[in-house]
Amino acid sequence: MAKKFDLLVFDWDGTLLDSTSGIVAAVQAACRDLGLSEPSYSHASQVIGLGLGDALRHSAPDLPEEKFDLMQARFRFHYLSRDNELKLFDGVFDLIAELHACGFMLAVATGKSRLGLNRALIHSGLGRYFPASRCADECFSKPHPQMLHELMEEFAVSPERVLMIGDTTYDLQMALNAGVNAVAVSYGAHSAETLDALHPLARLNSPDELTQWLRKHA
């Protein structure tokens, strides 16, 4: 069957890497370090997908601006102290390897920093499959479409041949803003109800469902 899409763009945290709980814990710990009210798990998870600066400002709206750099430093300390324990979701490595073997162009668009994504690509072993990626410290944060626009230009692919795969409303809104199709996964940070409200092509509830959908529809 002919491919419907040429370029598949994946979010990282909560889509490929099972990192939602680790990110939430680091946000909460950073808030405690600075004597701020600790956000609930639900509130902290809603900011996953944004660039770190935007995420922390949403998580800690009472944070004085002069303490913002310290907040970022404490988040990084807590997250990086345990990021080597984070694992890909079951089946994700095989899925990416299969898509690569089938001739799809693959890329990552993430709220992580360039340093953080590079660490994750090396640790996960997926770096060989992603020749291009965009991070929040080199582009506007999601849901701005810059990441997707730049990836489409780099691969010389038109919007209708691009599929965005992500676990947050920021991923889906970015796709809408860029004029590309998207599918949602509900096993990451945002709930199925909030994802469905943005009308993705499909909402998949496990990596296995994602694999089966991509085999049939991509």
In CATH, the number for domain 7-19+86-217 is 3.40.50.1000
Reported as a pLDDT band with limits 50, 70 and 90, residue 106 is very high
Reported as a pLDDT band with limits 50, 70 and 90, residue 100 is very high
- For residue 217 the two structure tokens come to 């529809």
Q: What is the mean pLDDT of the chain?
A: 92
Beta strands in the chain (DSSP E): 7-10, 105-109, 132-134, 162-166, 181-185, 203-204
Predicted model pTM:
0.88
The predicted structure's pLDDT at residue 1: 57
Residue 47 has pLDDT above 80, yes or no: no
Residue 125 has pLDDT above 90, yes or no: yes
Give the residue numbers annotated as catalytic, written as ranges. 11, 13
Task: Kindly report the backbone phi and psi dihedral angles of residue 136, in degrees, each rounded to the nearest multiple of 5, phi listed first.
Answer: -70, -20
pLDDT, tens digit, 9 for 90 and up, residues 51-96? 778 888 888 888 888 888 888 898 888 888 887 778 999 999 999 9
What is the sign, positive or negative, of the torsion defined by CA atoms of 4, 9, 11, 15?
Answer: positive
The predicted structure's pLDDT at residue 68: 85
pLDDT, tens digit, 9 for 90 and up, residues 172-193? 999 999 999 999 999 998 999 9
SS3 content of the chain, % helix, strand, coil (to 5): 50, 15, 35
pLDDT, tens digit, 9 for 90 and up, residues 19-31? 888 888 888 998 8
The predicted structure's pLDDT at residue 165: 98
The predicted structure's pLDDT at residue 42: 83
- Domain ranges in the chain are 7-19+86-217, 20-84
Q: What percent of the chain clears pLDDT 70, i.e. is strictly above it? A: 100
